[in-house]
Amino acid sequence: MTRRTPPLLDTVWPGHPYPLGATWDGQGVNFALFSKHAEGVELCLFDEKGRHERQRIALRERTNDVWHCYVPQARPGLAYGYRVHGRYKPEEGSRFNHNKLLLDPYAKDTVGELRWSDALYGYSVGSKRQDLSFDRRDSAAFMPKSRVLETAFTWGEDIRPNVPWQDMVIYELHVRGFTMRHPGVPEALRGTYAGLGTKAVIDYLQGLGVTTVELLPVHAFLNDRHLAEQGLQNYWGYNTLNYFSPEPRYSASGKVKEFKTMVKSLHSAGIEVILDVVYNHTCEGNHLGPTLSMRGVDNASYYILNGGQPRYYDDFTGCGNTVNLEHPRALQMVMDSLRYWVQEMHVDGFRFDLASALAREAGKVENLGTFFAAIQQDPVLSGVKLIAEPWDLGHGGYQVGNFPAGWAEWNDRYRDGVRGWWKGDAGIVGELANRLAGSQDIYGWSGKKPNASINFVTAHDGFTLADLVSYNDKHNEANGEDNRDGNSNNLSWNCGTEGPTGDPTVLALRERQKRNFLATLLLSQGVPMLLAGDELGNSQQGNNNVYCQDNELSWIDWNLDEPAQALHDFVARLIALRRRHPSFRRRSFFRGTLETGDGAKDVVWLRPDGPEMIPADWEGEHVRCLGMLFSGTGLIDVGGRGEHQSDDDFLLLVNAYHEPVSFTLPQRKAGWTRVVDTAQDGPETPVTEPSHVLEGRSLALFRSRTGNGAP
């Protein structure tokens, strides 16, 4: 049977400048593209697979720098792109080249894959004049195409879980890496959104106690050319091509609705979906990068150009360019994208990569700048979860503790403090205490609460937990950069042997250290974030930068041996303990005193011999053991409803010294019950002795019932 070629679309109406992008209204499609500096715009239509250009439509209408038309014969599924005419003067910041087919910055769907070719560059690759030269080759054959999307979807009774901040347990995962080897996911669905929405995966997340999954980038992204030429992949996805369309490689069906179905399935299980988003830069790179979308649409508007030499970009991201959120149309694009993912895709929030770059105005970080003001007043976005990675690579970019109200932050001081403590570093007992108590020293000054701190020990960028306790040094040789890439300051300790070993003493110590880290994380005030696979002892063989490893090195291994299963069960018990007891989920910082009027304190820091810590103790370089006694009496404002709720009293003991330490237990009429002990796994055990011998490099948690505690 011969496929009929669709007729040419010979009817074109003026259309409207809003909304931007390609919008199907049930009768036709409105096309709208912003470009302030363009001299002409052509809409290019392709066959359904995006392989052959069939028609060009010159956009005659221009309203407020938006070029637009309405095509009544167009339908969803239509593949298209743009050619934008204008001056090619890189030294002036103008990089128009109508020979280059451009992806619509507002494309809701794409078809086809990018195939690397010199034709994708606006200049002649290899020319002595570099990007000052002009390339006349047509790039359409190598480009993915935008595709008109029918956005309708039956959400039914989908309800956002709206998990209170203090109750969240975030689980950072990679859509592909999490499901590629999962035995409960059908083989055809592994590595996809559909795979992540399967019953096997959801049952696992619920059983572990996860409330919120944070997905590594799912915006459509590119595989870098230098990686493709080495046979590697951009695995993490921090190389965005388009801010509206989901990455097609993660779709088993090739349809956008697969992502929506995944979200709906997770929501039905009470699990939130947060996206890791990369609005700070795009895949077009520096002045020698390809012309794929925004660079060819309006380079001078979308990117921050160097004020003295606009041929070059101001790069605050380390990726070649920075999106110019000072420009109202670039800001509009980001805001429209965020709202689209909330309203159309039903996601529950965002983690912003290199968020300080979004705050830059005139090159400086302004925490209450335009972007943050826009979010704060937005009726949609002000109501979702907002998490900042509070730094970028530019001057003044480190802004931990300085993001506006309503924002939580990745707290790298928590990561480094806890890693340093269990590694045995000197002089950081005060740092550990601050992190255990919710980092009031970082967030309290601005009126924020403990839930402003996203606590983590490991994340996608760096060692896994298993590698943190197995390697002193990174081992990134597989990345092809002679082990130069990745952070060399990991605050890791291999427990005596570098890498794999059969030594039972070393293996036992590593298992205990894993438990120490996980228990510290889940018993601290603030919002805990787990790296997917850490609860299973997943290893990346010492590679702390698997951004380009889309293979078994980075995929989670679900073949669980006895230690892996035991570690998983330990984490599940800790999360359940945290969920039962509001003492670990306080909405306000410790005050120092209780409201009982008897001078009792809500938290007391203890020495091993029993007395409360004094200033001289905090200054000790060799302090390796600490007790934290916190009262469950009169916990304030549970769940944000103005209610009061009491809990049991808890005593947390941590010993980073290599030898056992005898710890005098505070007297309690109800006595103490040992709830957690990383040195010996077992059931809760009543304590009959006045002291407890805390094993070397271990943590123990004790509970004393007050009569008003959680069940």
Active-site positions read 353, 389
Query: Which one-letter DSSP state was computed for residue 86?
Result: -
Rounded Cα distance between 180 and 172, Å, is 16
Q: Which amino acid is at 414?
A: Y
- Where is 602: in which H helix or E strand? none
User: 518: which 2 tokens?
Assistant: 């996980």
Residue 574 near residue 566, CB atoms below 8 Å: no
* CA gap 588, 449 in Å, rounded: 5
Cα 341 to Cα 302: distance, rounded to the nearest angstrom:
21
Interatomic CA distance for residues 234 and 245, integer angstroms: 17
Contact by Cβ (8 Å): 232, 548: yes
Distances (CA, A) of 258 to 240, 262, 276, 529: 20, 6, 19, 26
Would you say how long the chain is, in residues?
711
Neighbours of 272 (CB within 10 A): 23
| Residue in the block written with tokens 């036709």 | 28
Which residues are within 8 A (CB) of 610 and not within 5 positions of it... i.e. 6 or more apart?
A: 664, 666
Q: Which of 150, 182, 238 is nearest to 459 (CA)?
A: 238
Backbone Cα Rg of the chain: 28
Tokens matching residue 306: 């160097």
Bridge-based pairing of strands 453-455 and 527-531 is parallel
Q: Give one DSSP letter per residue of 310-346, joined into a string.
A: TTSB--SSSSS--B-TTSHHHHHHHHHHHHHHHHTT-
The 10 Å Cβ neighbour count of residue 114 is 21
